[in-house]
């Protein structure tokens, strides 16, 4: 019989012994949000040495609920998450708790997404490929009242006319297709999107495939980027 899995959500590991470790009383309080448990666990292990990690959540709705309940100093979250995107969650939390600072930790190396993050109220935009020291420095800077923009380069192989093509083709999307993009790119599952639209999950999947083919997209991440840029989510 295999041993039961242990999650840090309920049983946090002991902080690492370190000369840099701070007493738990009075330490800055962080809330983590990412739809990958492995990322949450790694972040917890890294950050618990210096900060109080309040909780780790895996979707945007849980992020909003936890932030309103726990009132963290800083929220560390991804752009793309189920149920609500990081941008949507940030807007909802900051409407209620404008003092909470947000840092986006994401794989999306896109200058337009970075600009959108700051538009909705982020204090920093950090790539997951960055060294841990850069993330720690960003958190300290934000806690001190500053901001730390991330220099993000546009993809080198992106066609020069891609944005014009995106805009033109976006205008050709039907109202139903726009709603599918909004729900799917916003993190809803096929089943959840289908229930919201009153159609079958198979029909949602067909719409998504057709939209991505029409817009020459190769991944769901590109669909999310498109939805953010067109302000659909």
151-189: pLDDT as tens digits: 544 444 444 444 434 444 555 778 888 888 888 887 778
Distance, in Å, from the CA atom of 220 to the CA atom of 184, rounded to the nearest integer, reads 9
Mean pLDDT for the stretch of residues 206-224: 82
Cβ neighbours around 211 below 10 Å, total: 22
Instruction: Select from 68, 70, 61, 73 the least CA-distant residue to 29.
Output: 73
66 close to 21: Cβ distance less than 8 angstroms: no
Q: Which two tokens stand for residue 8?
A: 């840090």
pTM of the model: 0.66
User: Which CATH number describes the domain made up of 162-229?
Assistant: 1.10.10.10
Distance, in Å, from the CA atom of 222 to the CA atom of 48, rounded to the nearest integer, reads 33
β-pairing verdict for 52-57 and 29-33: parallel
Task: Give residue 167's pLDDT.
Answer: 43
CATH 1.10.10.10 occupies which residues in the chain? 162-229
Instruction: Select from 68, 8, 10 the least CA-distant residue to 42.
Output: 8
Distances, alpha carbon 29 to alpha carbons 2, 37, 117, 139, 160, in Å: 35, 20, 21, 11, 43
- CATH architecture of the domain 29-143 equals 3-Layer(aba) Sandwich (3.40)
Task: Give residue 151's pLDDT.
Answer: 52
Question: Does position 61 have pLDDT exceeding 80, yes or no?
Answer: yes
103-112: pLDDT as tens digits: 999 888 878 7
Task: Give residue 150's pLDDT.
Answer: 59
Which of 21-30, 75-84, 85-94, 188-197 has the lowest average pLDDT? 21-30
144: Cα separation from own chain's centroid: 23
Band of pLDDT at residue 230, cut at 50, 70 and 90 = confident
Task: Give residue 227's pLDDT.
Answer: 80
Distance, in Å, from the CA atom of 87 to the CA atom of 120, rounded to the nearest integer, reads 6
Mean pLDDT for the stretch of residues 13-17: 39
Percent of the chain with pLDDT over 90: 37
Q: Which two tokens stand for residue 189?
A: 């599952």
Q: What is the mean pLDDT of the chain?
A: 79
Task: Give residue 40's pLDDT.
Answer: 95
Question: Does position 97 have pLDDT exceeding 70, yes or no?
Answer: yes
DSSP state string for 128-185: TTS-HHHHHHHHHHHHTT--B----PPPTT--TTHHHHHHHHHHT--HHHHHHHHHHH
Task: Give residue 131's pLDDT.
Answer: 92
CATH 3.40.50.2300 occupies which residues in the chain? 29-143
Instruction: Select from 196, 221, 231 the least CA-distant residue to 88.
Output: 231
Higher pLDDT pick, 140 / 162: 140
The Cβ-side half-sphere exposure at 213, using a 13 Å CA radius, reads 6
């Amino acid at each position: 019989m295999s041993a039961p899995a242990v999650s840090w959500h309920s049983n946090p590991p002991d902080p690492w012994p370190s000369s840099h470790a701070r007493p738990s009383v009075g330490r800055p309080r962080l809330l983590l949000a990412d739809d990958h448990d492995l990322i949450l666990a790694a972040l917890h292990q890294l950050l618990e040495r210096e900060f109080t990690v309040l909780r780790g959540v895996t979707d945007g709705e849980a992020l909003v609920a936890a932030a309103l309940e726990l009132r963290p100093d800083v929220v560390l979250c991804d752009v793309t998450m189920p149920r609500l995107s990081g941008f949507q969650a940030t807007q909802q939390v900051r409407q209620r708790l404008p003092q909470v600072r947000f840092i986006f930790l994401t794989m999306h190396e896109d200058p337009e997404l970075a600009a959108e993050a700051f538009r909705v109220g982020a204090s920093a935009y950090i790539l997951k490929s960055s060294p841990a020291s850069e993330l720690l420095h960003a958190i300290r800077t934000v806690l001190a009242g500053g901001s730390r923009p991330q220099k993000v380069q546009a993809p080198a192989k992106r066609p020069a006319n891609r944005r014009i093509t995106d805009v033109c083709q976006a205008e050709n999307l039907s109202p139903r297709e726009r709603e599918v993009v909004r729900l799917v790119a916003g993190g809803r599952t096929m089943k959840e999107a289908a229930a919201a639209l009153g159609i079958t999950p198979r029909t949602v999947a067909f719409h998504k495939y057709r939209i991505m083919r029409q817009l020459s997209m190769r991944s769901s991440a590109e669909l999310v980027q498109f939805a953010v840029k067109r302000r659909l989510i």
